[in-house]
């Protein structure tokens, strides 16, 4: 029998499949669908939608469109802001899986205010509830005006992590953008500044035209491409980052099945996150986990640690 469990940020997860932030809302799904996703969450750890200090209305519509091999979205980090988010924090803290709070901001002080506010609220959380595992620092959203400025620069990323590090003992995971020439130096700078993990990739900045008007289809003009089209890029970047850092890497981008998970682990990922697949199939997470177990059994893989990074006999070949 195969062992799907992985150790991530000091927590033992039953399998390596998380949700990508903004693609699955466990609280809303439990209220609107015929299943209690709060008690029966299919992911081994949960990442809620990115929260910012102030409420954001997001981008004008249209916000989403399909492509031949995926989809493009331009939501614009719509969220109710920190104050409203904190009202739901006890429900998140009570989930049966670890939680990574996704944090966004226009400037370092915004990120600091969100992390500080969450830490203050968590101090009043009953100790019987599972602890929030940490924070995913989103410096990579391509659909907001300032979404790329920090994550595209190693010094700015390191400075942000350095400002947040004293605010919490919980894990800090930096979510990096693929919209850069070289991602590994940015990941290394984040680790040196105190990051406990790296997640990548976010969506790739893209454009789709209205076939009738030949004008940009999305209300925001540009959006973020996700889905199977970006998987080869994601694998390459995960491999580069895994070779450059010693902290865990959470890989994402185009994961549709169990074999995709194996490929990300083979490139050095400790865990993965599923996003676009959930839009097409609400049962994607469970199906992917089952397929992963089948793939491992068929290949004689006892646990994922056996194959982590196996795509490269010589780590230098990833550079």
Contact 167, 116 (CB under 8 A): yes
1 lies in some domain? no
Nearest Cα residue to 82 out of 127, 124, 121:
121
Residues 6+ apart with CB under 8 A from 53: 81, 82, 105, 110, 113, 114
Contact 271, 133 (CB under 8 A): no
The per-residue pLDDT for 143 is 58
Q: Any idea what the CATH number is for the domain that residue 69 is in?
A: 3.20.20.70
Domain count, the chain: 1
The per-residue pLDDT for 38 is 84
The pTM score is 0.95
The per-residue pLDDT for 4 is 99
Nearest Cα residue to 273 out of 290, 296, 249:
249
270 lies in some domain? yes
Residues 6+ apart with CB under 8 A from 178: 140, 200, 201, 202, 203, 204, 230, 233, 234, 237, 253
- 98 DSSP 8-state letter: -
Residues 6+ apart with CB under 8 A from 214: none
- 145 DSSP 8-state letter: T
Q: Which residues of the chain have pLDDT under 50?
A: 147-148
C-alpha dihedral (46, 193, 7, 260), degrees to nearest 10: 70
Which sequence positions are flagged as catalytic? Answer: 141
The per-residue pLDDT for 144 is 62
- Round to whole Å and give the CA distance between 184 and 143: 23
31 lies in some domain? yes
Query: Strand pairing partners for 79?
Result: 56
Contact 310, 56 (CB under 8 A): no
List the domain range (segments joined by +) for residue 223: 6-318
Residues 6+ apart with CB under 8 A from 304: 3, 4, 6, 16, 265, 296
- 50 DSSP 8-state letter: P
Strands (E), 76-209: 100-103, 134-138, 171-175, 197-200, 204-207
The per-residue pLDDT for 127 is 66
Identify the residue whose tokens are 């802001």: 81
The per-residue pLDDT for 1 is 87
3 state SS of 110: helix
The per-residue pLDDT for 314 is 65
Nearest Cα residue to 101 out of 127, 53, 60, 136:
136
């Amino acid at each position: 029998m195969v062992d799907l469990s992985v150790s991530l940020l000091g927590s033992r997860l039953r399998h390596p499949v998380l949700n990508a932030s903004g693609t699955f809302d466990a609280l809303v799904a439990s209220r609107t669908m015929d299943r209690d996703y709060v008690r029966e969450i299919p992911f081994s750890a949960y990442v809620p939608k990115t929260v910012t200090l102030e409420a954001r209305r997001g981008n004008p519509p249209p916000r989403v469109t399909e492509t031949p091999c995926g989809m493009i979205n331009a939501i614009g980090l719509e969220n109710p802001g920190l104050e409203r988010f904190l009202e739901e924090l006890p429900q998140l803290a009570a989930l049966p899986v670890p939680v990574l709070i996704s944090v966004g901001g226009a400037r370092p002080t915004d990120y600091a205010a969100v992390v500080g506010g969450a830490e203050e609220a968590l101090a009043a959380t009953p100790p019987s509830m599972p602890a929030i595992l940490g924070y995913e620092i989103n410096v990579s959203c391509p659909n907001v005006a300032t979404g790329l400025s920090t994550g595209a620069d190693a010094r700015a990323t390191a400075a942000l992590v350095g400002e947040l590090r004293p605010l919490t003992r919980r894990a800090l995971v930096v979510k990096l953008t693929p919209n850069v020439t070289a991602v590994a130096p940015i990941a290394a700078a984040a680790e040196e500044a105190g990051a406990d993990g790296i997640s990548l990739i976010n969506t790739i900045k893209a454009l789709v035209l209205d076939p009738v008007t030949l004008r940009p289809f999305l209300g925001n003009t540009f959006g973020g491409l996700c889905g199977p089209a970006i998987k080869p890029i994601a694998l390459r970047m995960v491999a580069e980052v895994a070779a450059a850092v010693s902290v865990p890497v959470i890989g994402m981008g185009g994961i549709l099945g169990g074999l995709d998970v194996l490929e990300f682990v083979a490139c050095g990922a400790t865990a993965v996150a599923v996003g676009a697949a959930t839009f097409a199939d609400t049962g994607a997470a469970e199906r992917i986990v089952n397929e992963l177990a089948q793939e491992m059994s068929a290949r004689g893989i006892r646990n994922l640690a056996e194959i982590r990074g196996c795509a490269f006999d010589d780590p230098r070949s990833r550079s």
